[in-house]
Structure 1
Amino acid sequence: MRPDRPHSPAADRNRGPILDVLRHALPERARVLEIGAGTGQHAAYFTARQPGWSWTPTTVPAELATLVAGLEGLERPGLGQAAPLDVRTETDWPEPGYDAVFAANVVHIAPEPAVRALISGAARVLVPGGRLVLYGPFMRDGRHTSESNRRFDVDLRSRGVGSALRDVNDVDRWSAESGLRRVADIAMPANNFILIYD
């Protein structure tokens, strides 16, 4: 790793378990749109190990420089160019044709309107049978799944920007409004989950 490359330790810790799930959930050859790609570490790691995936990493325009710097100098056939995408702006979304839309640690950071826009936008760009894959911590039936998640949720809500752990029931409802249904619910390390919709 270049010493000046943006880096997230959390992305290094969760990339292996996430890749294991994605390998079972997605076809060997797939077009994937990543929302909130951060430093680009997931995009780089996944495409190095799944050359059949064509991966487009995106982030909000204000964070694009970080994503570009994180991917600078990395060249492989499946790794697309970093692109700006504000999920709340319909014209930012690419044309339909994706086998998957992937978002890690976005749903609890983004305010609710942006989460709902992410889901509806994903439904628009997915091919029939395509999948929306959401990774992160979630609540269940109004309850936290761990004390650490409860503390994390309190901290998120205290920031006053609309961040909060989302309840799986709410995500299911918002997805159903866009014609998506949950087909998998997978427990992950560190009290996280992967929810898959198609």
Structure 2
Amino acid sequence: MSSQDAKLSSPSALRNRGPIAELLRHVLPDSGTVLEIASGSGEHVIHFARLFPNLVWQPSDPSPEARASVQDWVKSESLANVLPPLDVDASAETWPIAAADAMIAINMVHISPWPATQGLLGGAGKLLPSGGVLVLYGPYRRRGQPLVPSNADFDTSLRARNPEWGIRLLEDVESLAKKSGLTLTSVTEMPANNLGVVFTRQ
């Protein structure tokens, strides 16, 4: 496989990276390491690394194809503030990283089994310092509110692909986060009926 062949591209990443970056601008620390869980193609992390050059970006993904894509994007963009991608399975007991100053996970919670979200929040509770943030992006259910038709259709398609996937109830995620010492500090309405959800380590 040539270097060019390893690069993956996600249309949704190109659409949503701008609004997500604007949210990150308000919550990320001025310096330190930001761990991205489920980096996918790598297009998010290279965009953020360009915008926030004082931060060190640590991508990760359990997929070898995704990690190869990240590496090739980083190489082609000549970015010095992006570390080699780690093999992180969010649901695993241990991760190959000891600490992070902030964490992000984009479009992961609904496209993974619930134990991955449990592991994500547990990992954030272990890795983040006091005041460190975990930023999630994606569609969520909210108690007492029906899903908009497009998200309802998306949820049906997700569950058809894998019964363990699906749009999660935000209150369930918040309850789980509390057990790891994380407090929900903001919820921002984002384009295409998505939410930007920020948890802070207490």
Please tell me whether residue 111 in structure 1 is matched to residue 113 in structure 2. yes
Q: Tell me the matched-pair count.
A: 196
Q: How far apart, in 2, do the equivalents of 1:44 and 1:160 lie?
A: 29
Give the fraction of aligned pairs with identical amino acids, expressed as a percent: 37
Instruction: Give CA deviations for 1:16-66 in whole Å, capped at 9, x if unaligned.
Output: 110011011112223100000001111100111111111000001444333
Query: 2:80 maps to what in 1?
Result: 77
Opposite residue 28 of structure 1, the aligned amino acid is: D
Query: 2:14 maps to what in 1?
Result: 12
Superposition map of 1:48-63 within 5 A = 48-62=50-64, 63=66
Opposite residue 91 of structure 1, the aligned amino acid is: T
Query: 2:176 maps to what in 1?
Result: 174
Q: How far apart, in 2, do the equivalents of 1:150 and 1:17 lie?
A: 23
| Residues 41-50 or 83-92, more deviating | 83-92
Q: How far apart, in 2, do the equivalents of 1:51 and 1:115 lie?
A: 29
Provide structure 2 residue ranges, at least 5 long, that are not aligned to the other structure: none
Please tell me whether residue 67 in structure 1 is matched to residue 70 in structure 2. yes
Superposition map of 1:183-198 within 5 A = 183-198=185-200
Query: 1:39 maps to what in 2?
Result: 41
Write 1 or 2 for the structure with the bigger share of strand: 1
Query: 1:126 maps to what in 2?
Result: 128
CA contact 2:111–2:165 (8 Å) conserved in 1: yes
CA contact 2:110–2:138 (8 Å) conserved in 1: yes
Secondary structure, counterpart of 1:181 in structure 2: strand
CA contact 1:6–1:69 (8 Å) conserved in 2: no
Secondary structure, counterpart of 2:165 in structure 1: coil
Opposite residue 152 of structure 2, the aligned amino acid is: R
Opposite residue 51 of structure 1, the aligned amino acid is: P
Normalising by the residue count of structure 1, what TM-score does the alignment of the two structures yield? 0.92
Opposite residue 8 of structure 1, the aligned amino acid is: S
Q: How far apart, in 2, do the equivalents of 1:182 and 1:42 lie?
A: 23
Q: How far apart, in 1, do the equivalents of 2:103 and 2:72 lie?
A: 22
| Residues 182-191 or 144-153, more deviating | 144-153
Opposite residue 126 of structure 2, the aligned amino acid is: R
CA contact 1:11–1:41 (8 Å) conserved in 2: yes
Provide structure 1 residue ranges, at least 5 long, that are not aligned to the other structure: none
Opposite residue 143 of structure 2, the aligned amino acid is: D
Indicate the RMSD between aligned Cα atoms, in angstroms.
1.7
